[in-house]
Structure 1
């Protein structure tokens, strides 16, 4: 009897120990809803990807503080695509299959988003891109069909390129342009094409279109060729690292013409690479202005500063908006089934995002306004807002 008693006590203690271990695992998130955050955390676009991830993490933290979603907490599962398309596809595969994320958000660069979307479509997991603006992200290039599981919270390049061209023609009142294109980037090539089309349609003339590649360091040869043509404006739809070098070297060569670009400019590192004096008389299209004084924007800025000790850039805002749009879709779906989340995303209408009311159209693209930013003495200054 005594032996049986000790055996029973031992069994009970073991059961309690196992239960405690399981409870510990539960507190770590065994019942959590997993949201994949796929971003450029290292590589050439690391500052933008990190900002996007930070914005998304803040949105998830705030949602959990409000009680979570569907009675459960959210868990951010983070993956780095290393600013490379192949790594983007690998990371999406891991998030969707191994990590079992019910949906994925993130990705700034269009080339990376296109690679990620191909996986998302194959495994049927909703993917909400943050800053990828090339049309091929949500629409299949070969068939022309809208991708069923891929969405984005940003405007697209046909709109952004047109906004940039019209700004040059109507506000700056300049008609002779040169374009510098990053031939290794779908984003840069697409945005350049749409700018060129809108600029010509509005009566502008393209004097030259020169190419470079990501990670190039010396742009003075191509800039010397451009300078000889005496363009009134240079359009550079690239990412901050190369853009910063191009702007600085252009000014060193005595090129004083305005330099205009797209949302790929928006990084604190642009100022570091180009320097404040060189950036005077430059402009870029963007999703958001740090001068937005609306209560919602200010509340976000305050929360972001408290969380990360720095002012958010546009990608931080888009990352925050994307996570909140996704959270809202899960709530409306009342389910974590990928198909139902996909359907809820497709029905998103007038969501009150920080970057403006957001509706996802039939092509799964966000319909929203753009802003023009002017760089002045090292600061981003709001220049204009343009509705779609």
Structure 2
């Protein structure tokens, strides 16, 4: 009996031991799996030397925003980071499907995830004004967005616009239509209920009417529409001089194609919403119908751009094998402005960083920003106007400028004389035929001193910074027709004719001639080294040349 009990006990012990070993092994496997999950899902230790920045980026639209922000992040990290911390991006996509426009629900959800779960210190994005006004009220950390409508900054206390306001784009487009295209009548079609489209449309309509034009048709479409025959039938019947499409790809290329098929002869124009080449120029199988259309954007023509912009264009092209578009400038500048704000605040405390960004003046990066107004909108102007030729965008050259070119030296389009103001005008601003200019106001022009890039000292080591992105293959650097797709405003004196109270011309002063000094054909011209003597001095401001990529700024 005792032997039997002993055998049973031995068996029981063996079974228990086996079960224990099995459970131990299973727990080890589960623990290993959990640890791997933690590596993916759990944010880094807050004590680690990492600065987490959220990026709200739709997978389909304006992907250059992410690319340019990555370029800035790489340059900043290569220069030592921010306050000793390396910048880490946490991405969120606010598109629910590849063909869907980013929804309010998805945008709010990803913003909450970034703030509450990921504990990011700031957010870059969203790229659409409609989405920006949805998340601005709930985000209480600095947010720098590619959205440009004036209503964006009114929606929250921590959000900044980085690109030129869409109202300025609308005004410039109207001036271009009247002065360069000779338009007297216009028809408009825009995306219904879209914040950007409506703001851009309102600015265009107001300025076009001020210049003596007449809006003969105004219609809308819904996001995702593919048939625009009803709207275009009204346009054809009215026979306007120009058709202004205030919206985005993929609808705009489809609209243009159908307009050409219906033999509508109006010149087709648009705003910076078109500046999404990866989508805009891939919607149609054949881009021939797009030829002859014009649109505004934030990026300058490389040949006449300020030095900091030239550095950005070169770095972006080297990294991605393509020239940057207007939204790319916002992605780059957003990250650089955030870095300046955190450095100046010497902390990541949201209010301190917000106030430091708001105090930035004389910023020179992918674009130029004189300052921020009281509503956190940038005081700057557009980059220039594009003309689509051969299915690609090219910098538009003004008619007066073309006529002024010397016949024996027509190859040097960038070498323009300054005897006649029109010869230096490469933006829509100088195309205004109105007589509103007052030379006495030149002393108040923000661009003559704040944006004089001849005083900007570029970091000595910035050109050595190359992105660590897998796509950053410098061997793929292109010398394509797209490289310099934007035309800057070389005549800063035209800024006083603008109707918007807080939209001052941010392009270099024609007297400073800094952009043309950088043209390879003009390397012997050093006249741009002397700042405009009539400009209000800002020499008492502290000069901050950040040493992070190609951005410099003054902190008031």
1 CA distance for matches of 2:110 and 2:117? 10
More strand by share: 1
What TM-score results when the alignment is normalised by the length of structure 1?
0.85
2:283 to 269, 273, 282: 273
Q: Name the counterpart of 2:209.
A: 200
Q: Name the counterpart of 1:127.
A: 143
Q: Name the counterpart of 2:76.
A: 63
CA contact (8 A) 1:109 1:187 kept: yes
Shift of the 26–236 alpha-carbon distance from structure 1 to 2, 3 Å rule, reads closer
Shift of residue 86, structure 1, vs aligned partner? 2.1
| Aligned CA-pair RMSD | 2.3
Shift of residue 290, structure 1, vs aligned partner? 5.1
Give the 5 Å matches for 1:276-291.
276-289=287-300, 291=302
Shift of the 28–98 alpha-carbon distance from structure 1 to 2, 3 Å rule, reads closer
What TM-score results when the alignment is normalised by the length of structure 2?
0.60
Shift of residue 26, structure 1, vs aligned partner? 7.1
Give the 5 Å matches for 1:206-285.
206-268=215-277, 269-274=279-284, 275-285=286-296
Q: Name the counterpart of 1:303.
A: 315
Shift of residue 138, structure 1, vs aligned partner? 0.5
Whether 1:369 and 2:363 are equivalent positions in the alignment is no
Shift of the 292–97 alpha-carbon distance from structure 1 to 2, 3 Å rule, reads farther
1 CA distance for matches of 2:175 and 2:363? 28
2:162 to 153, 162, 168: 153
**1:235 match: secondary structure:** strand
Q: Give the gaps of 5 or more residues in structure 1.
A: 1-20, 141-146
1 CA distance for matches of 2:70 and 2:180? 38
2 CA distance for matches of 1:230 and 1:117? 41
**1:125 match: secondary structure:** coil
Q: Name the counterpart of 1:117.
A: 136
2 CA distance for matches of 1:27 and 1:302? 36
Shift of the 66–178 alpha-carbon distance from structure 1 to 2, 3 Å rule, reads same
Larger radius of gyration: 2
Whether 1:324 and 2:336 are equivalent positions in the alignment is yes
**2:360 match: secondary structure:** coil
**2:178 match: secondary structure:** helix
2 CA distance for matches of 1:110 and 1:292? 31
Q: Name the counterpart of 2:348.
A: 336
Whether 1:87 and 2:96 are equivalent positions in the alignment is no
Shift of residue 245, structure 1, vs aligned partner? 0.4
CA contact (8 A) 2:299 2:324 kept: no
More helix by share: 1
- Of 239-248 and 179-188, more deviation after overlay is shown by 179-188
Shift of the 27–304 alpha-carbon distance from structure 1 to 2, 3 Å rule, reads farther
Shift of residue 221, structure 1, vs aligned partner? 2.4
**1:249 match: secondary structure:** helix
Whether 1:104 and 2:104 are equivalent positions in the alignment is no
Count of residue pairs brought into register by the alignment: 352
2 CA distance for matches of 1:290 and 1:89? 36
Whether 1:170 and 2:179 are equivalent positions in the alignment is yes
Q: Give the gaps of 5 or more residues in structure 2.
A: 1-35, 37-42, 96-101, 397-425, 430-494, 496-504, 506-556
**2:364 match: secondary structure:** strand
2 CA distance for matches of 1:293 and 1:190? 29
Whether 1:35 and 2:49 are equivalent positions in the alignment is no
Give the 5 Å matches for 1:183-198.
183-198=192-207
CA contact (8 A) 1:128 1:151 kept: yes
- Of 273-282 and 90-99, more deviation after overlay is shown by 273-282
Q: Name the counterpart of 2:365.
A: 353
CA contact (8 A) 2:369 2:378 kept: no
**CA offsets per residue over residues 226-249 of structure 1, 9 Å max, x none?**
101111110101002110100111
CA contact (8 A) 1:290 1:313 kept: no
